[in-house]
Amino acid sequence: MLKKTTLNASVIGLGYIGLPTSAVMARAGCKVQGVDVSEAVVETINRGEVHIEEVDLDGLVQAVVNDGLLTASLDVEPSDVFVIAVPTPFSNDGKHTPDISYILQAAEKVAGVLKKGDCVILESTSPVGTTEKMRDVFAEKRPDLAMPGLCEGTPDVSIAYCPERVLPGRILEELIHNDRSIGGITPRCARKALAFYKRFVKGECVVTDARSAEMTKLVENAFRDVNIAFANELSMIADKQALDVWEVIRLANRHPRVNVLQPGPGVGGHCIAVDPWFIVHGAPDEANIIRQARETNDGKMHHVLARAEAIADANPDAKIACLGLAFKANIDDFRESPALDIAVSLAKDYGNRVKVVEPYTSELPREFDGTNAELVDIDEALEDCGILLLLVDHDVFKAIPPEERGDAVVYDTRGVWS
Ligand code: SAJ
């Protein structure tokens, strides 16, 4: 039975974070208004359906929409709490400059309905200082309201930054159980946001200031990127020295204080491949390892492509099966995916020799338009293709026994068959 309550919450941006967050908040008893710029997204959610794949999300959204606790709309309406979860891409300047315009546009819309006592929380991954910039939009648009950090005495609204740290495929579980860092513009703001998250978060909620919370999120993803870059660099060294990198990592990880991550075809997704650049942009002269890690992980994609092309050229009669397009295992998300880039590049160069296997799609993404690549199932690929290029460690690929790979030339970029 779903619990009713009077707290109204508004979530701006109904993507991979905003929609699950809305649904979890609604299940906790908040009356949630989800806001998105896409009419199709709004209509889909109001039908009780979802536009993104995430474990158990469809059932939860259906339940909270049916119960009247979640509605979607194109316009922001008055609320008690506003959670902003819109994208922060790069600008088009080729310099990895963060583009916070979606946040500032969302802030302008919220400013129009803001009232005394409201709490605004930014969840989008953001460069340090963005929460203050958002506050400045409110200050400019609403001179009638006293803003935290800009007024003497008690401000009229609370403003905080609280990044998500959920893993795709485990979002509903991690939204509840992960610890959260909650950074207020002032300590009072942090306490107000804390009281809100306590409604549905079971993990520990640690309060700090907004700038530290912004940096914490970037550091988490940069830390992972640097560690993956170490593994990817090792794999390129191992290729040069004819070593089995998986064996070396397995053995090194038996040391009690060593934990090398796994090499792959590069780092994908909209977080780890993006967020470290926000640190580099903020401190270009200091962020050397972080910049190098990004370049190493991007470079790994070209290394894999060059090796795959060499195998294709050495076996001119063989068809090439590209196994997987997603940015990581067992999800349908192809954003910033090195596997997709490699397969598209091969399709452009080798035409109908290229067969793509991706159990998480029913048609080839538009990046393949104009190529003669074909989407096939795994059995057809195993029968037809003399080259197996494993790009994503989906469970369905892991389950292929050696005898089914037969005499095919195998390039396993994830080490699942080693
Ligand atoms: N990868 C490797 N080797 C590894 C681990 C990952 O090559 O050993 C690759 C994956 O294949 C993928 C990429 O890295 O291409 C990123 O995958 P991921 O599973 O490391 O992370 P994401 O992008 O799905 O989610 C990350 C998480 N951050 C951290 O683990 C520090 C998640 O907790 C964040 O919430 C999320 O970014 C986000 O939204 O920022």
pLDDT in tens, 258-302: 999 999 999 999 899 999 999 999 999 999 999 999 999 999 999
Task: Dig out the tokens for 218 from the structure.
Answer: 């970037």
HSE of 34, CA atoms in CB hemisphere, 13 A: 35
Which of 124, 270, 272 maximizes ligand 1 atoms within 8 Å of its Cβ, making it the mutation to test the pocket?
A: 272
272 Cα nearest atom in ligand 1: 23
Task: Dig out the tokens for 305 from the structure.
Answer: 């492509």
**Alpha carbons 51 and 38: distance in angstroms, whole number:** 11
Is 176 within a domain?
A: yes
Residues 259 and 321 grouped into a single domain: yes
Is 212 within a domain?
A: no
CB 167 within 8 A of CB 196: no
Residues 13 and 148 grouped into a single domain: yes
Residues 175 and 240 grouped into a single domain: no
CATH number assigned to the domain comprising residue 342: 3.40.50.720
**Alpha carbons 24 and 6: distance in angstroms, whole number:** 16
Is 242 within a domain?
A: yes
Is 344 within a domain?
A: yes
329 Cα nearest atom in ligand 1: 11
> Amino acid letter at 266?
G
What is the CA(273)–ligand 1 centre distance, in A? 9
Residues 260 and 197 grouped into a single domain: no
Express each pLDDT in 304-341 by its tens digit: 999 999 999 999 999 999 999 999 999 889 999 999 99
Residue with tokens 């959204």: 61
**Alpha carbons 291 and 231: distance in angstroms, whole number:** 16
pLDDT band at 169; cut points 50, 70, 90: confident
pLDDT band at 6; cut points 50, 70, 90: confident
DSSP state of 352: G
With a Cβ cut-off of 6 Å, ligand 1 is lined by 125, 164-168, 220-221, 224, 228, 261-262, 264, 267-269, 271-272, 327-328
Count of the separate structural domains present in the chain: 2
What is the CA(138)–ligand 1 centre distance, in A? 34
Residues 171 and 281 grouped into a single domain: no
DSSP 103-156: HHHHHHHHHTT--TT-EEEE-S---TTHHHHHHHHHHHH-TTSPPTTTSSS--S
Is 211 within a domain?
A: no
Is 208 within a domain?
A: no
Q: Give me the residues paired with residue 205 across strands.
A: 180
What is the span of the domain harbouring residue 343? 229-412
Is 89 within a domain?
A: yes
Is 105 within a domain?
A: yes
Q: Give me the residues paired with residue 322 across strands.
A: 356, 389
Please determine, for residue 2, whether its predicted confidence score (pLDDT) is greater than 90. Answer: no
Last residue within a domain, chosen from 185, 203, 221: 203
Whose CA is closest to atom 40 on ligand 1?
271
Residues 196 and 233 grouped into a single domain: no
Residues 146 and 263 grouped into a single domain: no
Catalytic residues: 217, 271
Residues 235 and 199 grouped into a single domain: no
Residues 189 and 334 grouped into a single domain: no
